[in-house]
Structure 1
Amino acid sequence: MASVDCPCCGQRAFARQIGKRTLLYREVYYHCRDVRDCGHEFVVGISALRTTRASRWPKPLETLPMTTWRGAANDRAANDDDPPSEPNADMLTS
């Protein structure tokens, strides 16, 4: 499970159990590691938000909106050995 900090004291929390589950949603019960001073227990909801790459076997009843991936400005393809192109004038901001 993903590492989560306690929203009350900021200490690390650990996953204790998993609650409700569907294909697109899951609840995870967390407990603060600072049991003596804080002792906070809370639930984190994990939800699938969108698709970045379509599945070869999609489930028609469980679909997510498709999003396009945008690379960083310095992200280039492995076979792109040319220097980066100069920005257009309309891309520059004042």
Structure 2
Amino acid sequence: MTGETGKLPHVQCPACGGKAFARTSGKHSLTYREAYYHCRNPDACGHQFVVEMVATRSVKPSRFPRPKVVLPLTTWRTAANDRAANDDGPPGEPVAGTMTDR
């Protein structure tokens, strides 16, 4: 179950806060993948954990859509919500009219 781990970003180790890097990854479906991370803390944390990556929504429709994959369409600001004052809490429900079905 190996993949192109060099292209996956490093993440923060949930145990010690050090940098963790992807060791292997596997594609389970068109919208779901797991990546296995290993902590590289110089103090020898050694924590190993799995990160799930899931395609949840589209911010721009594809010019070449796959019929088997239909993701809800949202605007970038609604999806990212980067400049909102409420970014510290969990995401709220989508605003009516921002998601469309295909």
Where in structure 2 are there 5+ consecutive unaligned residues? Answer: 1-7, 84-102
Report Cα offsets for 1:21-49 as digits up to 9, x if no partner: 31111100000002753110000001111
Distance in 1 of aligned mates of 2:77 and 2:27: 33
Task: Tell me which protein shows more helix as a share of its residues.
Answer: 2
Do the aligned partners of residues 69 and 19 (structure 1) sit closer, same or farther apart at CA in structure 2, a change above 3 Å counting? closer
Partner of 1:51: 58
Which amino acid is 1:56 matched to?
Answer: R
Which amino acid is 1:30 matched to?
Answer: Y
Distance in 2 of aligned mates of 1:68 and 1:39: 40
Name the larger-Rg structure.
Answer: 1
Do the aligned partners of residues 20 and 11 (structure 1) sit closer, same or farther apart at CA in structure 2, a change above 3 Å counting? same
Partner of 2:45: 38
Equivalent pairs, count: 73
Partner of 1:12: 19
1:65 paired to 2:81: no
Q: Secondary structure at the match of 1:57?
A: coil
Tell me, yes or no, if the aligned pair for 2:28 and 2:34 is still in contact at 8 Å.
Answer: yes
Where in structure 1 are there 5+ consecutive unaligned residues? Answer: 74-94
Which amino acid is 1:26 matched to?
Answer: R
Which amino acid is 1:41 matched to?
Answer: Q
Which amino acid is 1:40 matched to?
Answer: H
User: Structure 1 segments of 4 or more deviating over 4 A?
Assistant: none
Q: Secondary structure at the match of 2:17?
A: coil
Q: Secondary structure at the match of 2:24?
A: strand
